[in-house]
Amino acid sequence: MGHRIFLAGASGAIGRRLVPHLVAAGHRVTAATRQAAKAEDLRALGADPVVVDVFDASALQAAVVAAKPEIVIHQLTDLPAGLDPSRMAEAIARNARIRDEGTRNLVGAAKAANAKRLIAQSIAWAYAAGAEPHAETDPLDSGAEGGRAVSVGGVIALEKHVLGASPITGIVLRYGHLYGPGTGAEVAAEPAVHVDAAAHAALLAIERSAQGAFNVAEPNSHITTDKAVRELGWQAGFRLSGE
């Protein structure tokens, strides 16, 4: 039995891989993008596209309520193509704003739509220094400085919004560094995760009754992914067929 799903950030690296995955699993997907040019691509993948800016809280709420989703998935980022170093400083600030203000708006819209579950993208390299590998219960790096402080501050805000969204069940997927189709990277620094396996974790979070935070990355020395494997049935080697 499929669910009605609202996917924010549908045209991003994970979103583009996730849409056909959700459709194939029998879900009805409303796919949100702020770029009108990408709407037809999303329709071709089997979704119902909607063009909306996450910072326009009233328009976002109207779009989510109209979609009547049981589940909202947050895959929003604002990063330059290929993580262009010359553009990263401003991108880090924009990304942090999406994680805080954008997530807050999305949580409000999900509540207005009476959604039951909210699944959000986070990162697996925001932990405070300490014994490795880090488990999900380890503290995040709230004392970070410089650009890292901006980035980690956004992550902490995102996770607080999502995990505190009661009565909505919140799930945070702490992804490793992405590589694979659409990411601009063939390999990635540890902790790393293939974009298809990252998308698969979001699908599994729909199907399982899990809640809380999950590290999602290939086996590495920095973080442990035992919880995702055990509670979600996640597999790092998952790849979409036909590629």
Alpha-carbon gap, residue 81 to 190, rounded angstroms: 20
Domain harbouring 63, CATH code: 3.40.50.720
Residue 217: name the closest of 141, 146, 123, 139 by CA.
123
Q: Which residues contact 217 (CB under 8 A, 6 or more apart)?
A: 124, 175, 176, 190, 191, 192, 193, 223, 225, 236
Q: Judge whether 179 lies within some domain.
A: yes
Residue 75: name the closest of 28, 23, 26, 6 by CA.
6
pTM here is 0.96
Q: Judge whether 242 lies within some domain.
A: no
Q: Which residues contact 196 (CB under 8 A, 6 or more apart)?
A: 17, 180, 181, 238, 239, 240, 243
Q: State the residue range of the domain holding 203.
A: 4-232
Q: What is the pLDDT along the chain (243 residues), one digit of tens a residue?
A: 799 999 999 999 999 999 999 999 999 999 999 999 999 999 999 999 999 999 999 999 999 999 999 999 999 987 655 556 676 677 888 999 999 999 999 999 999 999 999 999 999 999 999 999 999 999 999 999 998 999 999 999 999 999 999 999 999 999 999 999 989 889 999 999 999 999 999 999 998 988 999 999 999 999 999 999 999 999 999 999 755
Query: Rg of the chain over CA atoms, in angstroms?
Result: 16
Distance of CA 163 to the CA centre of its chain: 14
At 152-188, the pLDDT tens digits run 999 999 999 999 999 999 999 999 999 999 898 899 9
The number of folded domains in the chain is 1
Angle between helices 146-163 and 103-112 (to 10 degrees): 10
Q: Judge whether 243 lies within some domain.
A: no
Q: Judge whether 145 lies within some domain.
A: yes
At 85-104, the pLDDT tens digits run 676 677 888 999 999 999 99
The pair of structure tokens assigned to 179 is 């590589």
Do the bridges between strand 28-33 and strand 4-8 make them parallel or antiparallel, or are there none, so unpaired?
Answer: parallel
Q: Judge whether 147 lies within some domain.
A: yes
Q: Judge whether 239 lies within some domain.
A: no
Residue 143 CB neighbours (<10 A): 11
**3 state SS of 159:** helix
Q: Judge whether 240 lies within some domain.
A: no
Distance of CA 25 to the CA centre of its chain: 19
Q: Judge whether 46 lies within some domain.
A: yes
